[in-house]
Amino acid sequence: MRPRWLFLSLIAAIAVSGCSVFPGLRVLTGEDSGSSQAERTVQNIELVMGDKSGSTDSSLLNTAYRIEAADNLVDIIEIREDAETHEFNVTLLFLAAPQNTPQGQRDWADALRQAVELTWRAVLPESEASDLLRVTIVAPAQIDTLDNGPSFVGIINRSFEIDRADAVSYLQGERSLQAFGDLLVDGTLRDLQPDALELYSGTPNHPMFVAPTNEAG
C-alpha cells in the first residue's frame, strides 16, 4: 500500500494548482491588492452556448453532449481523434469554483476526478483506434487588448494523459479519489501542467463562446 501522506500531498497539489493563477497571467492582466484581475473576471463570466452544428462527426458531437448532460460542471470545447498519432483529445472547461478550505479543496479535486473519468467512459466507443486519451482542462479569462478592448481567451490549466488500455482497466475497477490518486502516484496517469501561461489555440468543433454576465443575452 502506498503511503497515505503521499496520496494526500498529491491531491492537495492538484487542488491548489487548480485554484492558482499562473504568473504569466498576472503579467498579462495586471494585479492589485494581491487579488488577480483574471480571477475576478472569471467569477463574473457567464458561459453562453454557441452554435454546435458543423462538419464534425455526429457521433463525436453526441458524445460531447452526453458528457455535458451527465456533468453540469463540464463544457466541451473540442473533441477529436488524431488518426496519425492515435490520440483521442478532449478539451473542456471545468466550471467548479475553487475552494480555500482543506475539505473544499478535496471536494474540488474529487469533482475534477469525476469529470475526467466521465470523459474517459464516454469516449471509449469512439476512441477504439487510439492508444492514448488526453483530457485538457481550460479556464476562461478576459484580457484587455490594445486594439479591440476586452477579449476572451482560454487558459490551459493542465492535461491528463493516460494510455487507453489503462483507462479501460481502471474504469472496470474501483473509482474513487484514492484510486485516481494511485494512478498519478504510479505514473499511469500523467498530470501535465504548463510552466508558464499557455493559451488554448486549438480549433473548437463543439464550440461555445463567453460573454460578461452583464452582456449575456
- Side-chain-side CA neighbours of residue 138 (13 Å): 26
Lowest mean pLDDT among 10-14, 69-73, 143-147: 10-14
Amino acid at 214: N
DSSP states of 112-161: HHHHHHHHHHHHTGGGTT-SEEEEEEEEEEEEEETTTEEEEEEEEEEEEE
Mean pLDDT of 61-76: 91
State residue 74's pLDDT score. 92
State residue 201's pLDDT score. 85
- pTM exceeds cut of 0.75: no
Please give the residue that has the higher pLDDT: either 168 or 201: 168
Q: Where is mean pLDDT largest: 24-33, 79-88, 102-111, 205-214?
A: 79-88
In percent, how much of the chain has pLDDT > 90? 45
Mean pLDDT of 177-201: 92
State residue 185's pLDDT score. 92
Mean pLDDT of 91-96: 90
- CB-based contacts of 172: which residues, under 8 Å, 6+ apart? none
The ranges assigned to domains in the chain are: 4-212
**Residue 30: is its pLDDT beyond 50?**
no
From the number of C-beta atoms within 10 Å of its C-beta (0-12, 13-18, 19+), residue 32 rates as exposed
Query: Hey, which bits of the chain come out as E strands?
Result: 31-32, 35-36, 45-49, 74-82, 87-94, 132-145, 149-163, 189-192, 208-212
pLDDT for 98-151, tens place per residue?
778 888 889 999 999 999 999 999 999 999 999 999 999 998 877 777 776 777
Please give the residue that has the higher pLDDT: either 90 or 217: 90
In percent, how much of the chain has pLDDT > 70? 68
**Residue 207: is its pLDDT beyond 80?**
no
Query: Closest Cα to residue 209, out of 41, 47, 42?
Result: 47
